[in-house]
Structure 1
């Protein structure tokens, strides 16, 4: 028995499948889930999510743009604001967007501008982490 994982976004079901392990970007840090995990509901932060599949035991990476995760009886249901697979992200574009967002965050002045720049930075960082993770894995 393994984990049954469903990732849902407002537009469509994003991914369904079986996995051995999943690492989620939660509001309080990364959280790993293996089979027979205790039931939990957690908020998801903007970040990289990793899934180790049953088939080839390879890690797959996804950029998650916040949401919630429910873990119960070896079923993981993820309600994400947005999700993107590493295969659909151009590494060079992700790197450039990350560097631009980092510069914009450093230059931001005023509360509103800093909040918006921080959110753009977190999104760009998640996308860049996902393509970097693909190279490491």
Structure 2
């Protein structure tokens, strides 16, 4: 028996499938989930989420949200998600560089918070994209 995984976004059910291992980007760092994990609800940070089934890994860029783990069912409620195969690596790299420069130039609390979020988002997308490039 493996984990049943569902990724839901406000727009639609994003992904459903089986997994043997999941690595979540939580607000306190990465968290691994295996079969028979203790029940938990955790906040998700913006970052790359990895899902392994047999010998195949899939990567997703998750834009924050929550994860519920209970009785080998993992439900991800994400603000937004992107599958690694839909990401253009060159575009992701350019967006990361632009976001990094904006963060360095940001002044004032509001501008810094917005620039930091844009940087974290671009970094998550770049990480998922880099994972897919290694995989393929």
Equivalent residue, structure 2, for 1:107:
105
For 1:64-103, what aligned pairs fall within 5 Å after superposition?
Answer: 64-103=62-101
Equivalent residue, structure 1, for 2:127:
129
Report the alpha carbon displacement of residue 135 of structure 1 after superposing the two structures with TM. 2.8
Per-residue CA distance 1:66-121 (angstroms, 9 max, x = gap): 00000000000000000000011100000000000001000101101000000000
Task: Give ranges in structure 1 of 5+ residues lacking alignment.
Answer: none
The CA distance in 2 between the partners of 1:22 and 1:88, in whole Å, is: 20
Report the alpha carbon displacement of residue 53 of structure 1 after superposing the two structures with TM. 1.6
The CA distance in 1 between the partners of 2:36 and 2:15, in whole Å, is: 21
Q: Does 1:118 align with 2:121?
A: no
Report the alpha carbon displacement of residue 133 of structure 1 after superposing the two structures with TM. 1.6
Equivalent residue, structure 1, for 2:7:
7
TM-score normalized by the length of structure 2: 0.97
The CA distance in 2 between the partners of 1:53 and 1:26, in whole Å, is: 21
Structure 1 SS opposite 2:30: strand
Task: Give ranges in structure 2 of 5+ residues lacking alignment.
Answer: none
Q: Does 1:20 align with 2:17?
A: no
State how many pairs are aligned. Answer: 135
The CA distance in 2 between the partners of 1:42 and 1:123, in whole Å, is: 19
Q: Does 1:58 align with 2:40?
A: no
Report the alpha carbon displacement of residue 132 of structure 1 after superposing the two structures with TM. 0.9
TM-score normalized by the length of structure 1: 0.96
Report the alpha carbon displacement of residue 136 of structure 1 after superposing the two structures with TM. 3.4
